[in-house]
Structure 1
Amino acid sequence: MAIRPAEQLIHKAAWLYYAHGLRQDQVASQLKISRASVAMYLRKARETGIVNISTSTQLFTDDVLARKLEDALKLDAVWIAPENGHVADPSTDIAVLAASVFLELVKKGDRIGVAWGRTVYTIADIMSYADLQDVTVVQLCGNLGAPYSYRPDQCTMEIARRLNAKGLNFYAPLVLTTEELARGLRAEPVIREQLSGIGDCDLALYSVGTVDADSHVVKCGALTAEEMAALRKAGAAGVIAGQIIDAEGKALDCSYNRRVISAALSSLRKIEKRLMVVQEDSKFEPLIAAITGGLCTHLVVGAHMARRLLDHAGPAAEKAS
């Protein structure tokens, strides 16, 4: 059967981008189409199976820096996306690597907890399709009213769709207006059962958020920039599944956390494999807090972040040895 003209453009765009290594703007120029069209064609190429993105994760796990980080931070596994000066957005390489790592960690029959954010949704969007019908993907925290593609329910269902798995959404808001309302909602049988089952997950996928004006919880309206600044002065260091953590990776004692509908950090720590993916260098301090609090067992980062982590852990690692 002949390829239709529209499909031919998808094939050509994918061939130029993946086989010849052209940038998206170069592909657009050669095919005389817009860069937005190139991005759309590349996505269709992945979704329809024309292109199946995969990486040799062994290539990265053999990296000496990764081994040193595992020892220094006492993590089960670390994967490092190498620096590539030809890539305009190095975070894409981290997401591609993380998608491959995630698929390798998933086993048949697994129960997977998924948080939210741009990083998680990017991984879901770039992930190859797999047929894992006996896998369940569970939302780790309540939902947002904001119209973002990286809402908790969107992240959960997109990953479930990619795995051909069952998706289990949290039908509750992320943050309530009062602590009393939050206590009452947590006591509802359906919500209580879902929260209590988080610790039974086999794998968790999340990132860690910042505690500044660019934080997702600020952008989605859960907190104002002024409220976040006050929490930072009170010891806030990062955001995990919508919750504020301090420098020790513990839940910050604050009204916001008492109004949040999310898996308890103690439940997250019970999950055997806790895969954290960090794309931005601005998340260094939040990542340190998450690792300190035992919220990460498996880590995917870029080379620059990996070196910063090793430099930070160096004195402590030498002292321990």
Structure 2
Amino acid sequence: MSRIDPEPTLQDEAARAGWLYYVGGLTQDQIAAELGVSRQRAQRLVSRAMAEGLIHVRLEHKIGACLQLEAELARRYGLGQCRVAPGLGAGADPARAIAGPAAALLEHYLARAEPQVIALGTGRALRAMVEELTAQDCERHHVVSLIGNIAPDGSASFYDVIMRIADKLHAPHYPMPVPVISDTPAERALFHSLRPVQAVVALVQRADVIFVGVGQMGDDAPLLLDKFVTTGQLRDMQGVGAAGEIAGWVFDATGRYIDCDANDRVGGVRIDAGREAPVIGVAAGATKVRAIRAALTGRLINGLVTDEPTARALLA
């Protein structure tokens, strides 16, 4: 009795078309013939495979201009690690440009034979980085969150990356089981008095490498858009010089953490300036330039993955 193949879904077709194009090296005419569709449909299927993240492409060749920008950024800001990706053009999401280089840098640490403690912040750029990771078994390593994973309404934070990366790496993982920002300083202190939270904090403190996003503090601040602070609270922080935030901790243009109500209630671990272990910022985009420059100036981060337009702005 012969087995009847299931009817292919649209995603099945897109994945097959993407595979034939990027891995098989077939032309769109050849893909159309292979799949029995028109050339126009073959083209749409290949585009869909990329748009839905079914195919991941990394640029292995180092563009000379990007190499020069890496060297200049490293020299100016004393960076131990720096990666600059080509820009994707006006209107494109910068997180897409830097996801591959950031994933490759993280895989550099994952390839180490000795066990690593890898701490992670959160945000769109880190989520894109994790999506680009190659799935592998990394049971010898530990991944830990340095930011709370509970949103204001009690749900899991949407851009939390610990569960996603643990699924990719099959590694022991440690979420920070506290709100991103507690309602009161007393509530935060209560959470941090709990033994499981103290254990996670201790693990972060001895991390071998830390990857963080860098948030801007303009009217499009992630803290505001994700409803961790109100418009009034954002205005108050802007009034005392807020320039950026890392893991919810807000700092000024010199990279110093500001004295504000929100910083008294942040649930995660603060990255202290001048940390010796690598602290790699993964961030790009015109709206983030001020925040990234402040983090670099204050030595909150000592490594950077960004794109070409952002790098030029940081050096301007």
Task: Tell me whether 1:151 sits opposite 2:156 in the alignment.
Answer: no
What per-residue deviation string (whole Å, max 9, x for no partner) do you get for residues 203-245 of structure 1?
A: 1111110112322211221101221021011121111011111
| Separation (CA, whole Å) in 1 of partners of 2:4 and 2:137 | 28
Give yes or no for the alignment of 1:102 onto 2:106. Answer: yes
The counterpart of 2:195, out of the listed 189, 196, 210, is 189
CA shift for structure 1 position 248:
2.2
Residues 217 and 243 of structure 2 are in contact (CA less than 8 Å); yes or no, is this contact kept in structure 1?
yes
Who wins on radius of gyration, i.e. which is larger? 2
TM-score computed with the length of structure 1 as normaliser: 0.80
Partner of 1:299: 304
After superposition, the C-alpha distances for 1:64-117 in whole angstroms (9 at most, x for unaligned) are: 221121111111121111235599545422212211122113334111111111
Give CA-to-partner distance per residue, 1:255-298, whole Å, 9 cap, x none. Answer: 111111111222x8546111111122210111011112212222
Supply the AA of the counterpart residue of 2:290: E
1:255 aligns to 2:255 (yes or no): no
Give, in whole Å, the separation in 2 of the partners of 1:129 and 1:141.
24
Does residue 280 (structure 1) correspond to residue 264 (structure 2)? The answer is no
Counterpart among 66, 69, 93 of residue 65 in structure 1: 69
Which residue of structure 1 lines up, in the alignment, with residue 168 of structure 2?
Answer: 162
Distance 1:66 1:186, change over 3 A: same
Q: CA deviation at 1:189?
A: 2.2
C-alpha distance in 2 between matches for 1:21 and 1:246: 52
Alignment equivalent of 1:309, drawn from 298, 310, 314: 314
Give the aligned partner of residue 181 of structure 2.
175
Give the distance between the partners of 1:74 and 1:238, measured in 2 at CA: 20
CA contact 1:61–1:78 (8 Å) conserved in 2: no
Does 1:235 pair with 2:241? yes
* Cα distance, 1:122 vs structure 2: 1.1
2:66–2:308 contact (8 Å) kept in structure 1: no
Q: For residues 138-167 of structure 1, give each alpha carbon's deviation from its aligned partner in whole angstroms, at most 9, with x where no partner exists.
A: 011112326687433xx0111122222111
* SS of match in other structure, 1:94: helix
Distance in 2 (CA, whole Å) between partners of 1:95 and 1:290 is 20
Structure 1 pair 197/89, CA: closer, same or farther in 2 (3 Å)?
A: closer
Aligned-residue sequence identity (percent) comes to 22
Is the partner of 1:289 in helix, strand or coil? helix
Q: 1:225 to 1:306 in 2, by over 3 A?
A: same
Counterpart residue identity of residue 251, structure 1: Y
| Match of residue 221 from structure 1 | 227
2:14/2:48 contact within 8 Å kept: no
Structure 2 residue aligned with 1:120: 126
Distance in 1 separating the partners of 2:178 and 2:156: 17
Counterpart residue type for residue 293 of structure 2: I
Q: 2:42 is matched with which residue?
A: 31
- SS at the partner of 2:181? coil
Query: Residue type matched to 2:303 in 1?
Result: H
- Answer whether contact 1:57 1:101 (CA < 8 A) is retained: no
Question: 1:301 Cα shift?
Answer: 1.0
Counterpart AA for 1:240: I
Match of residue 290, structure 1, among 295, 298, 302: 295
Deviation at 1:197, TM superposition (A): 2.8
CA change 1:263–1:37 in 2 (3 A) is same
Residues 1:206 and 2:216 aligned together: no
- Say which structure is richer in helix: 1
Check if 1:81 corresponds to 2:80: no
Change (3 A) 1:83 1:20: farther
Q: Provide structure 2 residue ranges, at least 5 long, that are not aligned to the other structure.
A: 29-37
Look up the equivalent residue of 2:87 and give its one-letter code.
E
